[in-house]
Structures are given as structure tokens and as C-alpha cells.
Amino acid sequence: MTNTFSYHVSESGFYGEFGGAFIPEMLYANVEEIRTKYLDIISEPAFQEEFNHLLRDYVGRPSPLYRAETLSRKYGANIYLKREDLNHTGAHKINNTIGQILLAKRLGKKRIIAETGAGQHGVATATVCALMGLECIVYMGAVDIVRQAPNVARMQMLGASVVPAESGSKTLKDATNEAIRDWINNAETTHYIIGSAIGPHPYPDMVTRFQAIVSEEIQWQLKEKTGKDHPDYVIACVGGGSNAAGAFYHFLHDDRVRLILAEAAGKGIDSGHSAATSILGTKGIIHGCMTLLMQTSDGQIVEPYSLSAGLDYPGIGPMHAHLIKSGRASVYAATDDEAMMAVIELSRSEGIIPALETAHALAILDKMTFKKDENVVISLSGRGDKDLNTYIKYLEDHQIPL
Ligand SMILES: *Cc1c(COP(=O)(O)O)cnc(C)c1O
């Protein structure tokens, strides 16, 4: 039953052929400091105590595992939603920012920078900086600043500076470039809180460990509800891969559990306007790691597209690249329209308005078949409040009754 092949990061920072730390010389000292210290720091009892205390009393964990009755009837299986949308700040991102702010404090850093796409990671970072009294600068693509205006206002309320990234497609990739530039210029004072399971080693592993609480809870919650401590499927949307990494972590080596990733096909995989990285991507280096990314034959990054700002990224975390290449995880892609239909369906059938990113995980249910009595857990990574403008505009444009 149990797979002997390892899906965890190796000593040298690789997941199979993916991962590593491909960074400018100027960042070497910072990344090396994190690499040599992170495991010791996060395993300290005092760190664990503070982390778990904040997850419980500040974030509101454990997040519920909710059996969605209407979806279960429709798909003929037991569909459970892992309610990360109910966390403080509205998504799974806060699990990681709590972990990283505690690490930054122990590294003596005074200044925090972050990149953000949908703004959820920016909000989660601004939140923990307010909590800990640290300066916070968030880089965000100029296009995303417009489509995720409510989150920009939230970051500003929390005291963070939001800096627009004006290059390229003015989205997540460009915000990440700006954040890296800042870090190079302020390496000594600054910790960069990366918001997904991407970046140079040890970030993908560190972020995965902070998000692993999600699958730890799924194990005991499912056991309570069904008598089984593992689902038959875990489904998660994938941008950089942090909500998927957290939902998968404790099942990585359990072959009874099928791991499913939902990617953003945008206007269609072959339309030239998508973010379906694992399908269209080839091996290359982006933002400090070797992974799958959308690039031309001469290595220029292809501008990604998704209506969902949080999935609009040309790369994928190295752990996920390895899970896909090795056949451990399967990928399905959902278009903007399919995701929007899933938003409307969950809102009207379960009374839960999901984030547009999350809706991609719901949309692929239509492409799968389940056996009766199979247990399917979907990572409900975030809530849809930030997307309401996009949703209302979509309903009006498509003349769907309000
Ligand atoms: C950021 C975000 C994502 C995508 O990021 P991952 O690191 O792939 O999880 C998905 N859902 C929501 C709600 C987000 O905020």
C-alpha cells in the first residue's frame, strides 16, 4: 500500500529533477541562513506552541470538514469541503504567513516584503505584520490591483504599503520579480514571505510544512465522520501549489489516496490565453527553482492568463512538478467559464461563495467519475468576497439572472 519512493524534498533541495535554489549571489546569505536554520527553528517547542496557539485562537483552526449534501447527491460520492475559506482573512494563506512571521522574528528581521496575485497572500502578510508590529511592503501587479480592489483596501487598512508592478502582464509573475528586486537591495533587514510552495529551496518545503496542518486535520476529521483516516481523492486548485501541498502532505505516500490538481485553462488550453502550466509547461528556472513553466523554445516566459488572479502564474511548485511527472498526481484543467459555473453552483446549492481560484477545483468534478461511497475531499482554499465584482460583471455580461 505504502509507496517507498519519496515525494519529500531531498537533502540538497530537490524533488526528483525539480527544485533547488537558483538565486542571484546577493541573496545567497539570506537563503542560506533560512536553509540552515528553518528546520531547527520550526521544531522548537516554543515555536510550535506559538504557531499552534495562533492557528487556533487567531486563525480559528481547525477549519471544518463539511459534507456537501447537494454536491454529494449530484456526483454520487461523499463530497467533503475542507473549509479554509472560514480562516481569518478568508483563505489558506494565513497558515503560512503565521509560520513565516514567527521565523522572521527569530531571524531578527524588521522589514517584511511579499508578492501577491489575488491579494489573499498580501492580506495575510499585512495581517501578521500588524499583529507583530513589523513593516510590510506588498508588491502587486497593476492589473491585479484593479481586479482585486477590496483586498488592496484591506492591506492598506492593515498598515501595509501596496506597490504596483507595471512590467510584463502586470500580474503575479511581475509582482514576484519586483519583490525579488527589493530583497536583493535590502537583504540584511528584510524577510521575504513567499506566498506559495515555490521559490528557492527551502521555501517550497517550508511553506508546505506550514500548510500541512490542513491534511493533518483532514485525517482525524474524516476518521470521526467516516471511520476512515484517508479519503479516496483529494482535489485542490493549483497556482504555485500551497493549498494543494497542505491538503496532500500527509497522504503523499499513501497510495490509497488519489491526488488531483486543478489548473486554470483560462480561455482554453490551446487558446494562447491560459495558465495551464503542467500541461503546457517545460522544464526551466523561474523565481529561484527548477520546475515546469510556460516558456518559448528559446526560454522566454509566456505571459499566463486566467480570470482568477491567484492562478495567473506561468510556473508551478517543484513538488507538484515532481508529483505530476512521476504520475503520483493527476491534473485536470478548468476554463474561466467552467470555474464561473462552479462558483454559481456552489453559491446557489450550498450557500457558499467560493474564491474564483477554488472554483477551478470544483469545476473539474464534472470531468471525473466516482464510485458510490468514495470519499472525496476538496480543498475549499478561499472565500469569494474579493471576487464579487468579477462575479457580478460576469453574470451581467452573460445575462445570467441575478
Ligand atoms: C493564492 C490562492 C490560491 C493559489 O495559490 P496556491 O499556492 O496554489 O494555493 C488558491 N486559492 C486561493 C483562495 C488563493 O488565495
Ligand 1 atom closest to Cα of residue 244: 9
Per-residue pLDDT of 61-101, as tens digits, reads 999 999 999 999 999 999 999 999 999 999 999 999 999 99
345 found inside a domain: yes
Measured in Å, residue 381 CA sits from the centre of ligand 1 at 6
Same-domain check for residues 332 and 374: yes
Residue 266 backbone class (left: φ over 0; alpha: ψ -120 to 50; beta: rest): left
Residue 11 belongs to a domain: no
> Which contiguous run of DSSP H or E holds residue 235?
strand 233-237
d(C-alpha 363, C-alpha 132), whole Å: 38
Question: pTM of the predicted model, to two decimals?
Answer: 0.97
Q: Are residue 307 and residue 171 in the same domain, yes or no?
A: no
What sign results for the dihedral spanned by CA atoms 201, 101, 123, 347?
positive
Digit-coded pLDDT (tens) for 7-66:
999 999 999 999 999 999 999 999 999 999 999 999 999 999 999 999 999 999 999 999
Say if residue 51 is in the same domain as residue 66.
no
3-state secondary structure of 368: coil
Of 206, 227, 256, which residue sits at a domain end? Answer: 206
Q: By the 8 A CB rule, do 234 and 282 touch?
A: no
The verdict on 125 and 164 lying in the same domain is yes
Residue 309 lies in a domain: yes
Among 146, 176, 206, the domain boundary falls at 206
Tell me the pLDDT tens digit for each residue of 259-296.
999 999 999 999 999 999 999 999 999 999 999 999 99
Residue 18: how many other CB atoms lie within 10 Å: 23
**Domain assignment of residue 137, given as a range:** 21-55+93-206
Q: Supply the residue whose CA is at minimum distance from atom 15 of ligand 1.
A: 120
Same domain? For 78 and 216 the reply is: yes
Residues 195 and 113 in one domain: yes
CA-based R_g, the chain, Å: 19
**pLDDT of the residue at 79:** 98
Q: Looking at the structure, do residues 111 and 231 belong to the same domain, yes or no?
A: no
Between CA 347 and CA 342 the distance in angstroms is: 8
325 in a domain, yes or no?
yes
Cell 501549489 belongs to which residue? 241
Work out which ligand 1 atom sits closest to the CA atom of 242. 7
DSSP tag of 55: I
CA 296 to the chain's CA centroid:
25
Residue 310 forms part of a structural domain: yes
Report how far ligand 1's centroid is from the alpha carbon of 1 (Å). 31
Residues 174, 266 within the same domain: no
Could you give the CA distance from residue 141 to residue 326 in angstroms, rounded to a whole number?
A: 33
pLDDT at 2: 46
- Residue 284 placed within a domain: yes
Determine the distance separating the centroid of ligand 1 and the alpha carbon of 340, expressed in angstroms. Answer: 16
Most distant CA pair in the chain, distance: 56
- Tell me how many domains the chain contains: 2
CATH number of the domain that residue 32 is part of: 3.40.50.1100
Both 274 and 373 in one domain: the answer is yes
- Ligand 1 — pocket residues by CB below 6 A? 91, 93, 118, 120-121, 196, 237-244, 310-311, 355, 357-358, 381-382
Flag whether 6 is in a domain: no
